[in-house]
């Protein structure tokens, strides 16, 4: 392949036989789907949409993009793409740190795992080769001990991406955790690995920045992108912007102020004690360090240290788990939140889904649907339940199935704030209407990252829209879904989109790969990727009626300042969205597939 | 009561205060209240209003939870009991 940026090397690992085959990337696929999420979805699509997510035939892809490991700012992300055991959809989940860059420096664009190993194994990756090695001594160990053991074994310049006991026990929202704390959190990628007896990926590589196809153009494009990220008026500005200073948890107070912070399983849209768990308070009380990822000056990670009953030293105290384990559970104890996030990292579990299943169970307990007493804000009980879920013991076995399945077993599926089986994140769509259509139409189940509409509704990027208006949100969601589909395929950090736009992306992509592309070309690629995902889901059984929201968001008006009296007008937004997409009731028609050159 | 709440990096520019009582009367505009705040906390100069007196891009000023960009901007009229909240650019994920 004659495109720059790529290693042009994909490893297909058959875990059953132990055989590893190496292949080049099809250039046509690289041009159409780029890499990362897009190319990963293509691999998963070609593997077939009807496989059992926890069966040996499911494909588990670790994906880089053509910008990964380069000097492009914020290019340290890796995509894990597979069919989700939580949702039954195609899913991709990304993590930061250094493993993505090291995978590229080790000579790979992708590692594709299929089959089931006869005994626990890990994959050792170095110098363009993959070897499967015995992980029997690591099976049953937490992520932290696994990482420690493997780093001691392999030394410096090594990244370890591992699953914990939750993945081994097939908790449906088990995660892969990179380098101890960076989670590919959502969708249950860790459970897919557990079903294959794949404990970890170990990548050893020294820094070897890939050369851009056009060095002069790259220099100009890189400087232009860096300038907008560093600009003092942007949220990304190092040590000055809100994202850099407080991390993602700078959001807690603002979503609370506008009545878009769900509390107590979204029975409320504001949390009186939000300030106690917000980024400002974390910085004042328990913050000890601001770590970063490969090629990122923003340093949004927030490392904290707590003492006493919930003593822990961990990163990162993020908005999403702070909300899920905090406001959503009626919990204002920040030390307990840090402690439980670290437990999630050690078990290898999605902290959003955990917080939601805990909140849902608290409401089920309050309504006496279950015998167990689980009180709002009972932090000791939350810790105990986290252990039970991670081990699939007692009631934890049911809660390990995810919020939707657990709520149904408790007797009321409507208590689950979930879409397509995946729980909703930290933005209540009664106060941020765009998040309603974004959750409903996300191809991986409820997700805030497919189309991050708060960029527009709160920040004003690419343009300011009213969070309480539904008009235009269908079209906005399509635009942002397409943009993020392509940035996820580079694979760049989402947060670059707070400063950069399609033209900045296009200039860097063109300079690195040699493919001449405009911003509009990239949006077209993003649209193709989004439609391929949707086509996969359609073939997997997601048809008309699959894009919905929990009834609570549609029927129970907000009572909070800022959004009082509002519900989410999903049907109106869906009509606008489907029209913008050219879909028929959520299904991609043949003409669209042809138009986008998917078939 | 006339309170303006400040968040994130704006707090440090207001001597570390989270809230400043301005004590406006019904009929005061948001612009009047914000200018009174800046007079009280000069460290905020240039961080909420620009040199033309407009709200700095990406800064959010809320009255009772509603962004003034979707009300009447700085001409939004306050009642005595209203609360203002001001955020510098914030976003995350």
At residue A122, the pLDDT reads 98
Confidence band (pLDDT; 50, 70, 90) for A298? Answer: very high
Asked if residue A467 and residue A413 are part of one domain, the reply reads no
**Nearest chain B residue (CA) to A493:** B93
A386 and A329 in a common domain: yes
Q: Is the same domain home to A361 and A438?
A: no
Ordered strands of the B83-87 beta sheet: B19-21, B3-6, B83-87, B60-63, B66-67
Report whether the peptide linkage leading into residue A491 is cis, meaning its omega lies within 30 degrees of zero. Answer: yes
DSSP 8-state symbol, A556: S
Query: Looking at the complex, does the CB of residue A185 fall below 8 Å from at least one CB of chain B?
Result: no
Instruction: Write out the H or E segment, with its range, that includes residue A436.
Output: helix A433-441
Q: Which phi and psi (to 5°) does residue A61 adopt?
A: -110, 130
Neighbours of A371 (CB within 10 A): 7
| Interchain contact, A458 vs B60, CB within 8 Å | yes
**pTM of the predicted model, to two decimals?**
0.98
Q: Is the pLDDT of residue A293 over 90?
A: yes
A494/B93 touch (CB, cutoff 8 Å), yes or no? yes
- Say if A242 is an interface residue toward chain B (CB within 8 Å): yes
Spacing of C-alpha A436 from chain mean position: 18
Q: Which of A238, A250, A451 to mutate to test the interface with B (most CBs of B within 10 A)?
A: A250
Q: What share of chain A in percent tops pLDDT 90?
A: 99
A320 contacts B89? CB cut-off 8 A: no
**Token pair 């105990």 is at which residue?**
A384
Confirm whether A365 is domain-assigned. yes
**What is the tally of helices (H) and strands (E) in chain B?**
2, 5
8 A C-beta contact, residue A92 and residue A491? no
Dihedral pair phi/psi, residue A122, rounded to 5°? -130, 160
Residue A188 and residue A257 in one domain = no
| Phi, psi of B15, deg, nearest 5 | 60, 30
- Tell me if A1 is assigned to some domain: no
CA A90 to chain centre: 13
CA A485, distance to chain mean position in Å, is 12
Q: Would you say A81 and A58 are in contact if contact means Cβ atoms under 8 Å apart?
A: no
Residue A573 within a domain: yes
The model's pLDDT over A134-169, given as tens digits with 9 standing for 90+, comes to 999 999 999 999 999 999 999 999 999 999 999 999
Best residue of B72, B82, B93 to probe chain A, by most A CBs closer than 10 Å = B93
Handedness of CA A139, A140, A146, A152 (dihedral sign): negative
Residues A340 and A310 both lie in one domain: yes
Both tokens of A39, joined, read: 């190319």
What angle (nearest 5°) sits at the alpha carbon of residue A480, between those of residues A557 and A234? 95
Which residues does residue A122 pair with via DSSP β-bridges, in sequence order? A133, A200
Chain B touched by A251 (CB under 8 Å): yes
Total domains, chain A: 3
Region B67-89: what's the mean pLDDT?
A: 97
Q: Residue A31 pLDDT > 80, yes or no?
A: yes
Residues of chain A found within 8 Å of residue B60, distances taken between Cβ atoms: 254, 458
Residue A514's domain spans which residues?
433-548+569-595
> Does A241 sit within 8 Å of B89, measured CB to CB?
yes
Cα A449 from Cα A185, distance rounded (Å): 12
A368: phi > 0 → left, psi -120 to 50 → alpha, else beta; which? left
The nearest CA of chain B is from the CA of A141 a distance in Å of: 30
- Select the residue of B58, B87, B93 nearest A254 (Cβ to Cβ): B87
Pair A389, A500 in one domain: no
Q: Hey, are the CB atoms on A233 and B57 less than 8 Å from each other?
A: yes
DSSP of A236-279 = TSTTTSHHHHHGGGGGHHHHHHTT---BTTTTBS--TTHHHHSH
Note whether B90 contacts A247, CB cutoff 8 Å.
Answer: no
Binary contact (B66, A251; C-beta < 8 A):
no
Does residue A443 belong to any structural domain of this protein?
Answer: yes
B90 to chain A, closest Cα gap in Å:
5
Determine whether the interchain pair A279/B8 forms a contact, defined as Cβ–Cβ distance below 8 Å.
yes
| A471 and A518 together in one domain | yes
Would you call B91 and A235 a contact, using CB atoms and an 8 Å cutoff?
A: yes
Q: What is the DSSP letter of A431?
A: T
- CB–CB contact B8 A461 (8 Å): no
Comparing alpha-carbon positions, the chain A residue that sits nearest to B93 is: A248
Question: Quick one: which H or E segment has residue B62?
Answer: strand B60-63
- Residue A413's CB is within 10 A of a number of other CB atoms, namely 16
Helix, strand, coil distribution of chain B in percent, nearest 5: 25, 25, 50
Q: What percent of chain A has pLDDT over 70?
A: 100
Chain A hits for B67, CB-CB cut-off 8 Å, are 258, 466-467
- With cut-offs at 50, 70 and 90, classify the pLDDT of residue A555: very high
- My answer on whether A172 and A196 are in the same domain is yes
Contact B58 A494 (CB under 8 A): no
pLDDT tens digits for A79-136?
999 999 999 999 999 999 999 999 999 999 999 999 999 999 999 999 999 999 999 9
Phi, psi of A14 (to 5 degrees): -95, 105
Q: What is the mean pLDDT of residues A350-374?
A: 98
A contact residues 467-486, partner B, Cβ 8 Å cutoff: 467-469
Q: Are A266 and A551 in contact (CB under 8 A)?
A: no
Instruction: Name the helix (H) or strand (E) containing A43.
Output: helix A36-47
**A521-536 average pLDDT score:** 98
Asked if omega into A107 is within 30° of 0 (cis), the reply is no
Kindly state whether residue A233 falls inside one of the protein's structural domains. no
B23 to each of A37, A550, B18, B27, B71, how far by Cα in Å? 53, 42, 16, 12, 21
Contacts of B11 in chain A (CB under 8 A): 280
Q: What sections of chain B are H helices per DSSP?
A: 9-13, 30-40
Strands (E), A252-357: 287-289, 303-306, 312-315
Q: CB–CB of B92 and A250 under 8 A?
A: yes
Nearest C-alpha in B relative to A248: B92
Decide if pLDDT at A344 tops 80: yes
Q: Where are the domains of chain B?
A: 3-87
Residue A456: is its pLDDT beyond 80?
Answer: yes
| Cα distance between residue A160 and residue A144, in whole Å | 10
- Residue A588: other Cβ atoms inside 10 A: 23
Last residue of a domain, one of A369, A389, A417: A417
What CATH number does the domain containing A389 carry?
A: 1.10.569.10
Nearest CA-CA distance, residue A234 and chain B, Å = 7
pLDDT of residue A346: 98
Q: Do A506 and A541 have their domain in common?
A: yes
* Chain A residues within 8 A of B3 when measuring between CB atoms: none
Mean pLDDT computed over A344-356: 98
Q: What is the pLDDT of residues A196-245, one digit of tens each?
A: 999 999 999 999 999 999 999 999 999 999 999 999 999 999 999 999 99
Determine, for residues B93 and A248 on separate chains, whether the beta-carbon distance falls below 8 Å.
yes
- Spatial separation of the C-alpha atoms in residues A467 and A260, rounded to whole Å: 9
Residue A495 covered by a domain: yes
CA distances from B16 to A161, A274, B9, B43, B87 (A): 41, 19, 9, 11, 14
Task: Compare CB distances from B58 to A233, A258, A300 and report the shortest one's residue.
Answer: A233
A466 interfaces chain B, CB cutoff of 8 Å:
yes
Give a yes or no: residue A327 inside a domain. yes
Q: From CA A208, how far away is CA A350, in angstroms rounded? A: 32
Length of chain B: 93
Q: Would strands A176-178 and A182-184 be described as parallel, antiparallel, or unpaired? A: antiparallel
Helix (H, G, I), strand (E, B) or coil at A313: strand
Beta strand pairing status for A312-315 and A418-419? unpaired
Domain boundary residue, one of A176, A204, A232: A204
pLDDT above 80: residue B1? no
| Mean residue pLDDT across chain A | 98
> What's the sign of the alpha-carbon dihedral A431, A442, A247, A503?
negative
Q: What CATH number does the domain located at B3-87 have? A: 3.10.20.30
The answer, yes or no, to whether residue A286 has pLDDT greater than 80, is yes
Nearest residue to A264 via CA among A354, A377, A370, A352? A377
What is the pLDDT of chain B when averaged over all its residues? Answer: 96
Non-local (6+) Cβ contacts of A578 within 8 A are A474, A584, A585, A586
Q: Tell me how close the Cα of A562 comes to any Cα of chain B, in angstroms.
A: 4
A460 lies within 8 A of chain B by CB: yes
Q: How many CB pairs under 8 A join A and B?
A: 101
Residues in chain B whose Cβ is within 8 Å of chain A: 5, 7-9, 11, 56-58, 60, 62, 64-67, 69-70, 85, 87-93
Can you tell me the mean pLDDT for A429-457?
98
Q: Which residues of B touch A319 (CB under 8 A)?
A: 92-93
- What pLDDT, on a 0 to 100 scale, did the predictor assign at position B93? 85
| CA neighbor of A4 nearest in space, from A491, A506, A513 | A513
- Within an 8 Å CB–CB cutoff, is residue A296 touching chain B? no
Q: Do A243 and B60 touch (CB under 8 A)?
A: no
Which residues does chain A have within 8 Å of residue B64's beta carbon, measured at their own beta carbons? 561-562
């Amino acid at each position: 392949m004659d495109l720059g940026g790529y290693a042009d090397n994909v490893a297909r690992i058959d875990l059953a036989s132990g055989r590893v085959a190496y292949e080049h990337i099809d250039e046509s696929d690289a041009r159409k789907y780029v890499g990362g999420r897009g190319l990963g979805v293509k691999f998963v699509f070609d593997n077939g949409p009807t496989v059992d997510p926890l069966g040996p035939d499911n494909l588990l892809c670790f994906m880089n993009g053509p910008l990964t490991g380069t000097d492009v700012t914020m290019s340290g992300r890796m995509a894990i793409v597979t069919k989700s055991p939580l949702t039954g959809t195609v899913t991709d989940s990304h993590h930061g740190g250094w493993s993505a860059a090291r995978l590229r420096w080790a000579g790979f664009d992708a590692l594709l795992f299929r089959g089931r190993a006869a005994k626990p194994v890990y994959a050792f990756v170095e110098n363009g080769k993959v070897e499967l090695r015995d992980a029997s001594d690591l099976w049953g160990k937490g992520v932290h001990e696994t990482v420690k053991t493997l780093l001691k074994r392999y030394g410096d310049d090594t990244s370890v991406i591992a699953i914990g006991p939750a993945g081994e026990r097939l908790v449906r929202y088990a995660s892969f955790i990179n380098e101890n704390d960076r989670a590919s959190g959502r969708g249950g990628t860790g459970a897919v690995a557990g079903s294959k007896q794949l404990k970890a990926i170990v990548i050893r590589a020294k820094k070897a920045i890939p050369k851009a196809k056009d060095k002069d153009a790259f220099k100009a494009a890189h400087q232009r992108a860096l300038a907008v990220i560093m600009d003092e008026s942007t949220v990304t500005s190092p040590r000055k912007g809100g994202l850099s200073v407080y991390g993602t948890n700078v959001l807690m107070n603002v979503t609370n102020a506008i009545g878009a912070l769900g509390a107590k399983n979204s029975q409320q849209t504001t949390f009186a004690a939000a300030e106690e768990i917000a980024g400002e308070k974390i910085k004042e009380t328990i913050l000890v360090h601001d770590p970063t990822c490969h090629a990122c000056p923003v340093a949004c990670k927030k490392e904290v240290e707590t003492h006493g009953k919930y003593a822990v030293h961990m990163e990162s105290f993020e908005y999403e788990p702070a909300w899920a384990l905090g406001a959503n559970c009626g919990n204002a104890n920040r030390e307990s939140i840090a402690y439980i996030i670290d437990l999630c990292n050690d078990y290898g579990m999605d902290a959003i889904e955990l917080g939601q299943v805990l909140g849902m169970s608290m409401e089920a307990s309050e309504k006496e649907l279950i015998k167990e007493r689980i009180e709002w804000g009972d932090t000791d009980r939350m810790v105990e339940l986290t252990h039970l879920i991670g081990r699939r013991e007692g009631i934890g076995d049911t809660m390990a199935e995810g919020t939707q399945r657990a709520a149904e077993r408790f007797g009321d599926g409507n208590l689950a704030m979930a879409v397509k089986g995946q729980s909703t994140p930290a933005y209540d769509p009664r106060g941020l209407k765009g998040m309603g259509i974004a959750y409903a139409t996300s191809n991986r189940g409820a997700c805030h990252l497919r189309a991050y509409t708060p960029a527009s509704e709160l920040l004003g990027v690419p343009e300011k829209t009213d969070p309480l208006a539904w008009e235009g949100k269908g079209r906005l969601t399509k635009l942002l879904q397409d943009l993020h589909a392509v940035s996820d395929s580079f694979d760049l950090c989402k947060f670059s989109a707070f400063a950069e736009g399609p033209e900045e992306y296009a200039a860097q992509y063109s300079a690195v790969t040699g493919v001449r592309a405009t911003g509009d070309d990239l949006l077209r690629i993003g649209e193709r990727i989004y439609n391929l995902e949707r086509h996969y889901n359609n073939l997997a059984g997601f048809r008309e009626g699959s894009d919905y929201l929990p009834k609570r968001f549609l029927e129970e008006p907000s009572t909070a300042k800022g959004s009082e009296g509002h519900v989410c007008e999903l049907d109106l937004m869906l009509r606008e969205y489907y029209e913008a997409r050219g879909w028929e009731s959520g299904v991609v028609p043949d003409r669209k597939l042809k138009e986008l050159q998917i078939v | 009561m006339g309170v303006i709440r400040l968040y994130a990096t704006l707090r440090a520019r207001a001597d570390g205060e989270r809230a400043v009582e301005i004590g406006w009367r019904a009929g005061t505009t948001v612009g009047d209240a914000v200018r009174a705040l800046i007079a009280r906390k000069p460290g905020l100069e240039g961080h909420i209003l620009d040199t033309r007196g407009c709200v700095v891009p990406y800064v959010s000023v809320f009255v009772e939870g509603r962004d003034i960009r979707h009300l009447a901007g700085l001409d939004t009229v306050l009642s005595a009991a209203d609360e203002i909240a001001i955020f510098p650019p914030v976003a995350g994920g």
